[in-house]
């Protein structure tokens, strides 16, 4: 659809002015006379006047508005340009979206409709309405629609339908763009506008999402059956959740919030076995989060995810909600989707079985996310309230909307943080979950919790599958670091910061004491923040990491940015770091002793007052001012739920992360030397974490008193680790004993002033905790360092235990640990070999299948003679240049060689048993070296430098030839050369750019949807 120039300009002007009002926010509201009165109807509350002039140009209209709101002349011109561009972007997308939905409507009719839309949008909407309503698309649409009824417009009928569709789409685009606008600072307008420009990519992406989500919903339901509330809700979920905080970084708030979907690193989960484990090499299954979600099916779509503090549980839940809201198909299914849509004779009808499979995919479900920390006393709200928990500005859903979705089996209910509700309320929560599952058995349910919060099998009778988040492997850690620095580099517009990622990865190799910490996403992010802010600083442990970050966030960042503190309310400018930390310690202490995850603002202010009353020259009456400034400036606490405007229920606040809360509360307890309080509460997992921080902060008397109290509750000989069926729960006494022993081990890593008797007992406990039973245990055990290395030497064990031993040695990382690790090359189980990550030479002749990912630069591959029985070899992401040592692997039938440094693959000519070769992204250019491999059936050369494939014409057993992303194609050759390929019966030709030409030459079969074989 092509808009007339006049209408396009007018619409762009109206959209630009709307967003400029949102941008200037309170400053505009103060200057906006129409926003001061109380309106009796919606129209009065949002309009200064009715009707927009079609003759009003973009620059003129915005210039007049900007002139009254922005004082600096240069900033005025920049505002004109910025919001002109935004208005144009929205109109361009609006035009394309309406055309895709109503392609048959002629331009003349659209002109009539859009004049009416312009009249509604051009009515000078007040900043009061924009700011107060947070630009919710549904509310904006309804308000504009009510006003438009009083504006003369097209005749009723189809034009009215088109008008409502156009106005609804315009409202969605405006709401999406408004959600990404930065905060406007009147005294520094230029900086605010520069920030707006820095966010242009985010605004583009959120505008693209408007169309993407609408298209996905229409594909699933059909435009005629579109649920408009569902569309608005899905959009709101993405806008609200698709961000992750880059805390501890000197960036404006808006740039500290990276897109979660850009920064997300796939977590791996450990699947708890249901049967006695055998030593068959499989071990405990490790699967990706996406794989775990893909197993959700009607009647059995239930998952309980366990993970330690900072392991990424909440991020995982948000990631799942965003993908479900966007109805984003995985790559393979999207490819199959395109195959159906792009048939020459029109889309094919999906078989019933395939359609049912697609509908059961969790990404097609309606996500409802509940952060349990915000549920008072852990009490779940009724389902009809679920949408408002995320999309707080959205209007109420239609009657029975949520219930109908859940009953039809179309819901994905995500309950995050079982551990964040009081211990006494968890049984009530379990009963509420049981009621939900029984009422809506076909919908999917996913819960997260810290491991110790509930017993194994807590939801077994409801058919919940249990998985546990495992610590990040080295490759995932490195990916996380690279993506963190990428986000910061983009926010600061400093590409050179990307190099810091490689520097940190290198420096971590010489800091083995940090290796166990950076396997955790939260602590890895903390390390990145400190390394960036302190120019290469690496903390010596978790306590120092928390301390330095607290100082940065509470005090140092404002000093380094040279913030004028005099503009903040008294007495905040006079407070030093220790004063602010004392306030936060008192607040954290109150959270912990009362088992709060969120706290109403008045109660938080009361705790601030208590802390201030203990300081000379300070008093309780200053609590409100200090609290407001800490909330605004530090980023360590944040608003969890906004104030309810209807009921006047106060807003609640929460800590940025529980790790900060536990660190500060522990420091407060240590300052009071209250070891008894810790000992009294050690049965609760949250208190054990607080206890470790308290121990680290305590003096000699406190440390010895706390550990002596622990030892008095421990038997001399610890119970052996539980083995066998997961459902056979260990004895409570044994379970508590091991939990206390692990607590003592964690304290050992922080001990500085222990008596000899205490040290001896600690070392005795360490040796009783080996070998570790899982990757989480391995992480804690590694904190003990070299003392455990002799007990981790290689011997035959169950695979899951062997994997944990390998992980522990890798995390310890000392020369002694690495020497012990070398002996594990004798193992022949694939799960153990995967964990070794190519770090040691392999020696077992039983190994026939091997996957290796070399993450470090190496010049060649070394395969000892003991591996000559290999038949399947996968070398992913290798950085080797010389692969000639592959020549000894004469039994190979499948080779996956993926490495951008590889140029010479002539060694493959001697491996005549090969049937499958994958050479993606290598730099090979000569295909003739493969011409003698007559057993080849599948050859993948995508992304290589091959230009001539004629030497392959004699490979008559070929069934698949993939040349995607190369310059090769049969159309490039003489017909006589290309004709040679016609002798290859049923060859599947994969090169979309050349398919039609090649097909015309030699009649190769049409490419089938991809279903790549899994190597090894």
pLDDT tens per residue across span 916-932: 999 887 888 898 999 99
pLDDT, residue 675, reads: 95
pLDDT, residue 441, reads: 93
**Average model confidence (pLDDT) for the chain?**
78
pLDDT, residue 945, reads: 87
Whose tokens are 């599952």? That residue is 437
Cβ proximity of 639 and 627 under 8 Å: no
Select the highest-mean-pLDDT range: 3-7, 245-249, 832-836, 1008-1012. Answer: 832-836
Residue bearing the bigger pLDDT, 137 or 819: 819
In tens, the pLDDT along 286-321 reads 788 888 898 888 877 899 999 887 888 998 999 999
What's the rounded mean pLDDT across residues 248-271? 69
pLDDT, residue 44, reads: 35
What's the rounded mean pLDDT across residues 145-171? 71
What's the rounded mean pLDDT across residues 186-215? 77
Residue bearing the bigger pLDDT, 236 or 36: 236
Cβ proximity of 429 and 397 under 8 Å: no
Cβ proximity of 519 and 471 under 8 Å: yes
Q: How far apart are the first and last CA of the chain?
A: 52
At 439, the pLDDT band (50, 70, 90 cuts) reads very high
Residues of the chain with pLDDT > 90, as a percent, come to 24
What's the rounded mean pLDDT across residues 500-529? 83
What's the rounded mean pLDDT across residues 335-346? 45
What's the rounded mean pLDDT across residues 813-823? 87
What's the rounded mean pLDDT across residues 365-369? 95
Residue bearing the bigger pLDDT, 313 or 735: 313
Residues 58, 9: Cα–Cα separation, whole Å: 6
Give yes or no for residue 43 having a pLDDT over 60: no
What's 556's DSSP letter? I
What's the rounded mean pLDDT across residues 380-401? 88
Between the alpha carbon of residue 293 and those of residues 113, 314, 324, 468, the distances in Å are 45, 15, 11, 13
What's the rounded mean pLDDT across residues 224-246? 83
What's the rounded mean pLDDT across residues 943-968? 84
Q: Which of 331-335, 739-743, 755-759, 929-933 has the lowest mean pLDDT?
A: 331-335
At 726, the pLDDT band (50, 70, 90 cuts) reads very low
Residues 775, 806: Cα–Cα separation, whole Å: 9
Q: Give per-residue burial for 972-998: e unless 16+ CB within 10 Å, then b.
A: bbeeebbeebeebeebbbbbeebbeeb
Residues of the chain with pLDDT > 70, as a percent, come to 77
Q: CB 1011: neighbour CB atoms within 10 A?
A: 9
What's the rounded mean pLDDT across residues 623-632? 93
Q: Give per-residue burial for 31-55: e unless 16+ CB within 10 Å, then b.
A: ebebbeeeeeebbebbbeeeebebe
Handedness of CA 314, 315, 320, 325 (dihedral sign): positive
Residues 151, 159: Cα–Cα separation, whole Å: 14
The set of residues, in sequence order, having a beta carbon less than 8 Å from that of 529 and lying 6+ positions away, is: 246, 247, 248, 249, 549, 552
Give yes or no for residue 1016 having a pLDDT over 50: no
Q: Which of 338-347, 624-633, 937-946, 955-964 has the lowest mean pLDDT?
A: 338-347
**Domains in the chain, please, with CATH?**
1-51+59-187 (no CATH), 233-273+285-331+361-470 (3.40.50.300), 474-538 (no CATH), 545-656 (1.10.10), 842-987 (3.80.10.10)
pLDDT, residue 556, reads: 84
Cβ proximity of 739 and 434 under 8 Å: no
Residue bearing the bigger pLDDT, 211 or 360: 211
pLDDT, residue 336, reads: 46
In tens, the pLDDT along 639-652 reads 888 887 777 889 99
Task: Give the three-class secondary structure for 375.
Answer: coil
Residues 238, 799: Cα–Cα separation, whole Å: 40
What's the rounded mean pLDDT across residues 798-814? 88
Give yes or no for residue 274 having a pLDDT over 80: no
What's the rounded mean pLDDT across residues 16-41? 52
Q: Is the pTM of this model over 0.85?
A: no
Backbone angles phi, psi at 713, to 5 degrees: -100, 0
What's the rounded mean pLDDT across residues 888-909? 86
Query: DSSP labels for 265-287?
Result: -PPEEEEPPSSPPPSSS--S-EE
Give yes or no for residue 548 having a pLDDT over 80: yes
Q: Which of 3-7, 86-90, 123-127, 594-598 has the lowest mean pLDDT?
A: 123-127
Give yes or no for residue 30 having a pLDDT over 50: no
């Amino acid at each position: 659809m092509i808009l007339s120039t006049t209408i396009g300009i007018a619409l762009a002007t109206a959209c630009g002015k709307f967003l400029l009002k949102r941008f200037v926010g309170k400053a505009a509201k103060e200057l906006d006379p129409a926003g001061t009165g109380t309106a009796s109807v919606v129209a009065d509350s949002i309009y200064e006047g009715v009707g927009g002039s079609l003759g009003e140009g973009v620059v003129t209209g915005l210039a007049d508005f900007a002139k009254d709101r922005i004082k600096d002349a240069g900033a005025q011109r920049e505002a004109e340009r910025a919001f002109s561009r935004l208005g144009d972007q929205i109109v361009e997308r609006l035009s394309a979206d309406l055309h895709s939905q109503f392609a048959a409507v002629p331009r003349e009719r659209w002109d009539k409709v859009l004049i009416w839309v312009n009249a509604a949008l051009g009515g000078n909407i007040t900043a009061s309405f924009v700011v107060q309503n947070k630009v919710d698309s549904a509310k904006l649409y309804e308000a504009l629609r009510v006003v438009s009824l009083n504006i003369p417009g097209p005749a009723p009928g189809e034009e009215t339908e088109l008008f409502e569709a156009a106005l609804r789409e315009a409202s969605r685009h405006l709401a999406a763009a408004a959600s990404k606008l930065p905060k406007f600072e009147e005294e520094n307008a230029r900086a605010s506008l520069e920030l707006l420009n820095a966010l242009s990519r985010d605004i583009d992406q959120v505008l693209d999402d408007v169309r993407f989500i609408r298209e996905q919903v229409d594909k699933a339901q059909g435009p005629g059956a579109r649920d408009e509330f569902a569309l608005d809700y899905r959009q709101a979920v993405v806008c609200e959740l698709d961000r992750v905080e880059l805390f501890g970084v000197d960036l404006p708030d808006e740039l500290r919030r990276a897109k979660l979907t850009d920064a997300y690193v796939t977590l791996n989960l450990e699947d708890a076995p249901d049967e006695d484990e055998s030593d068959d090499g499989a071990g405990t299954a490790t699967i990706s989060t996406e794989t775990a979600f893909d197993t959700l099916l009607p009647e059995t779509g239930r998952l309980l995810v366990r993970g330690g503090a900072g392991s990424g549980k909440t991020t995982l839940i948000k990631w799942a909600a965003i993908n479900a809201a966007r109805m984003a198909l995985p790559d393979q299914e999207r490819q199959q989707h395109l195959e159906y849509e792009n048939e020459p004779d029109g889309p094919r009808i999906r078989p019933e079985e395939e359609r049912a499979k697609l509908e059961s995919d969790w990404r097609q479900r309606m996500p409802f996310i509940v952060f349990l920390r915000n549920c008072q006393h852990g009490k779940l709200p009724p389902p009809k309230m679920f949408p408002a928990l995320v999309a707080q500005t959205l209007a109420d859903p239609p009657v029975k909307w949520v219930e109908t979705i859940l009953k039809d089996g179309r819901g994905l209910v995500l309950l995050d943080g079982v551990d964040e509700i009081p211990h006494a309320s968890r049984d009530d929560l379990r009963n509420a979950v049981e009621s939900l599952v029984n009422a809506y058995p076909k919908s999917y349910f996913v819960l997260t919790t810290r491991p110790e919060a509930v017993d194994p099998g807590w939801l077994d009778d409801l058919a919940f599958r249990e998985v546990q988040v495992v610590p990040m492997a080295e490759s995932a850690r490195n990916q996380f670091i690279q993506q963190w620095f990428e986000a910061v580099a983009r926010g600061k517009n400093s590409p050179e910061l990307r190099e810091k990622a490689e520097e940190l990865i290198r420096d971590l190799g010489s800091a083995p004491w940090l290796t166990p910490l950076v396997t955790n996403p939260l602590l890895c992010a903390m390390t990145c923040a400190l390394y960036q802010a302190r120019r290469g600083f690496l903390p010596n442990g978790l306590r120092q990491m928390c301390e330095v970050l607290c100082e940065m966030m509470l005090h140092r960042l404002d000093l380094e940015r040279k913030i004028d503190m005099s503009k903040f309310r008294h007495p905040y400018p006079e407070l030093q770091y220790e004063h602010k930390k004392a306030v936060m310690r008192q607040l954290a202490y109150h959270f912990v002793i009362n088992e709060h995850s969120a706290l109403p603002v008045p109660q938080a202010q009361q705790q601030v007052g208590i802390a201030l009353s203990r300081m000379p020259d300070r008093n309780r009456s200053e609590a409100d001012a200090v609290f407001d400034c800490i909330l605004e400036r530090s980023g360590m606490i944040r608003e969890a739920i906004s104030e309810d405007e209807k009921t006047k229920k106060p807003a609640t606040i929460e800590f940025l992360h529980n790790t900060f809360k536990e660190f500060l509360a522990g420091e407060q307890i240590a300052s009071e030397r209250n070891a008894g309080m810790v000992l009294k509460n050690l049965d609760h997992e949250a208190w054990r974490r607080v206890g470790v921080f308290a121990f680290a902060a305590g003096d000699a008397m406190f440390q010895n008193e706390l550990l002596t109290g622990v030892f008095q509750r421990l038997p001399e000989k610890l119970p052996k680790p539980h083995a066998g069926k997961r459902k056979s729960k260990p004895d409570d006494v044994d379970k508590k004993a091991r939990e206390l022993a692990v607590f003592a081990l964690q304290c050992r890593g922080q001990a500085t002033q222990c008596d000899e008797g205490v040290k001896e007992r600690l070392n005795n406990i360490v040796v009783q905790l080996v070998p570790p039973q899982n990757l989480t245990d391995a992480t804690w055990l590694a904190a003990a360092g070299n003392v455990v290395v002799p007990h981790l030497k290689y011997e035959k064990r169950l695979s899951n235990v062997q994997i944990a031993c390998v992980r522990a040695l890798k995390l310890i990382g000392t020369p002694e640990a690495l020497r012990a690790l070398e002996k594990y090359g004798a193992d022949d189980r694939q799960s153990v070999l995967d964990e070794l990550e190519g770090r040691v030479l392999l020696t077992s002749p039983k190994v026939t299948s091997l996957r290796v990912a070399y993450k470090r630069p190496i010049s060649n591959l070394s395969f000892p003679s003991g591996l000559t029985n290999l038949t399947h070899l996968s070398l992913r992401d290798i950085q080797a240049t010389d692969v000639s040592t592959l020549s000894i692997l004469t039994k190979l039938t499948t080779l996956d060689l993926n490495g951008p440094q590889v140029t010479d693959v002539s060694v493959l000519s001697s491996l005549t048993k090969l049937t499958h070769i994958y050479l993606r992204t290598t730099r090979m250019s000569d295909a003739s070296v493969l011409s003698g491999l007559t057993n080849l059936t599948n050859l993948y050369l995508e992304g290589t430098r091959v230009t001539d494939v004629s030497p392959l014409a004699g490979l008559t057993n070929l069934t698949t030839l993939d040349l995607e992303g190369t310059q090769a194609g049969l159309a490039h050759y003489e017909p006589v050369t290309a004709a040679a390929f016609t002798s290859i019966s049923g060859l599947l030709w994969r090169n979309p750019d050349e398919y039609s030409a090649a097909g015309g030459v030699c009649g190769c079969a049409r490419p089938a949807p991809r279903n790549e074989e899994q190597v090894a």
